[in-house]
Every structure is written in C-alpha cells, then in structure tokens.
Amino acid sequence: MAIVIEQFRVLAGLPSNDASKDATIDSAIAIALSLMEGYCNRGIAAKEDYEEKFVLLKSDTVPLYLYPVKEVKTINGATLASQDLVDGKAGLLYLDKFNVENSIIIIYDGGYDYADMPEDLVYVIKTIFKNLFIELEGSTPNDDDIIKSVRLGDMTVQYDTGSNTASYSGGAFGVFSAVQTNVLNKYVRVNA
C-alpha cells in the first residue's frame, strides 16, 4: 500500500521531511489498517498476487477477502474463463459452476492504494493513526480522548476521557468512535 508518509509525519507532529519516527509511523499505520480490516472482515490495503483458497460446496459465488478487485490473475493456475464474472466493487467472483472444481485457489490483485482510498476511509485511518502513534511513542497527547492501550487478540481498548478512564472490551464500538463505525459499516465484507 502506497501510504503518503509525509502526511502521517505531519499528523505525528513532525515536519514532513523528518524521517526519524518512520518506524513508529509504519507500525501505527499497520495497526490502524489491521483494526479496520478486522472490523470490516475484509482486506482494505492494496495487495498484489494475493492468494485465497476456497472449498465450494453448493455455491458458484466466491466472496473474495480483498476488494475492490483489480484483476483476477488465475483460478487453479488458469486464466479467468469467459463464463466467469467478477464484480470488482463487491469483491464477488461468479464462477461457471459446470467448469469449476470443489477446491480452488485464486490469485488476484485488490484492495485500495492510499491514493485511491475513499476519503471517508482516509479519515478513519488518520484518526486511528493519531491515537496509536501517541501510544506507541509514549508521549503525552493534547487530545482528551486518546487510546491508552490496544490488544488485538480479544480487541480490548482503554482510553482516557480526561477525569475518567473508560475501558471497553468487545463493546458496541470497540476501538472505534461512532463516526468511525458509521464509516466502516459501509465497507463491511459482502457475504455471498
């Protein structure tokens, strides 16, 4: 994914040409994307030659993890058949049910490049990033609502709200604010 690192340096309170904290910035970006992808149950960050294996029992519709789909390269090592259709925006692959095996491996390119990411997803990644960067750096933030800890395994988050400390574990919004949740709900993976 082609993140514009200079923008994230500025969000971190650094000059755009200061690369001294790039490792921490990269970590915060990766965690933010991971949280977003976990919530949406889909790959958001662009990847090339992404491989998925499916076992088809009764359906000829395959819901791909990574979308929008840019290109389906191979299905079981062969190019896409003319009878097979791709709905790239929804991440759905419709296979000719008479010409497909029960177990298939699909290699494809998909997800968003940062430059092509919808503005609302850019907003979410940037707002998550700011809090994560502060946490990873261990510095004192200026904002009242900041993430104090993140545990990805059981999705536990604690944040400071000024005079009170609140802790959420698997709550309605988890690590996300209501605005972030409303944005991410539009991008939750389509189930076929």
- Angle 187-118-24 (CA atoms, 0-180°, nearest 5)? 90
In a domain, 24, yes or no: yes
Residues 136, 162 within the same domain: yes
42-64 mean pLDDT: 90
CB 108 within 8 A of CB 66: yes
| Exposure string over 96-114, b if 16+ CB within 10 A, otherwise e | eeeebeeebebbbbbbbeb
Residues 80, 172 within the same domain: no
Residues 105, 122 within the same domain: no
Residue 17 scores a pLDDT above 90: yes
Give CA–CA dist 43/174, Å, rounded: 19
Residues 78, 126 within the same domain: no
Give CA–CA dist 187/121, Å, rounded: 9
Residues 99, 145 within the same domain: no
In a domain, 192, yes or no: no
| Per-residue pLDDT reduced to its tens digit, 67-98 | 999 999 998 888 888 888 999 999 999 987 66
156-161, strands of its sheet edge to edge: 145-151, 156-161, 165-169
Residue 159 scores a pLDDT above 70: no
| Per-residue pLDDT reduced to its tens digit, 91-149 | 999 987 666 667 889 999 999 998 899 999 999 999 999 888 888 887 554 544 455 55
Q: Which of 86, 111, 136 is the last residue of a domain?
A: 111
Q: Residue 47's pLDDT is what?
A: 95
More confidently predicted of 64 and 82: 64
CA distances from 115 to 121, 163, 167 (A): 11, 39, 34
Residues 26, 55 within the same domain: no
Res. 164 pLDDT band, cuts 50 70 90: very low
Determine the structural domain holding residue 82 and report its residue range.
Answer: 47-111
**Looking at the 3D structure of the chain, how many domains does it have?**
2
Q: Lowest-confidence range among 1-5, 24-28, 61-65?
A: 1-5
CB 118 within 8 A of CB 82: no
CB 24 within 8 A of CB 136: yes
| Per-residue pLDDT reduced to its tens digit, 165-186 | 444 443 445 678 888 999 999 9
Q: Residue 55's pLDDT is what?
A: 86
Q: What is the pTM of this model?
A: 0.74
Which residues share a beta bridge with 94? 61, 85
CA 141 to chain CA mean position, Å = 25
Give CA–CA dist 139/185, Å, rounded: 31
Q: Taking Cα atoms as reference points, which of 75, 86, 129 lies closest to residue 110? A: 86
Residue 163 scores a pLDDT above 60: no
Q: Which of 62, 79, 111 is the last residue of a domain?
A: 111
In a domain, 190, yes or no: no
DSSP, collapsed to helix, strand or coil, labels residue 160 as strand
Residues 54, 148 within the same domain: no
In a domain, 191, yes or no: no
In a domain, 100, yes or no: yes
Residues 82, 129 within the same domain: no
Mean pLDDT of the chain: 81
Q: Which of 111, 128, 153 is the last residue of a domain?
A: 111
Sign of CA dihedral 103, 107, 113, 119: negative
More confidently predicted of 103 and 159: 103
Which residues share a beta bridge with 55? 103
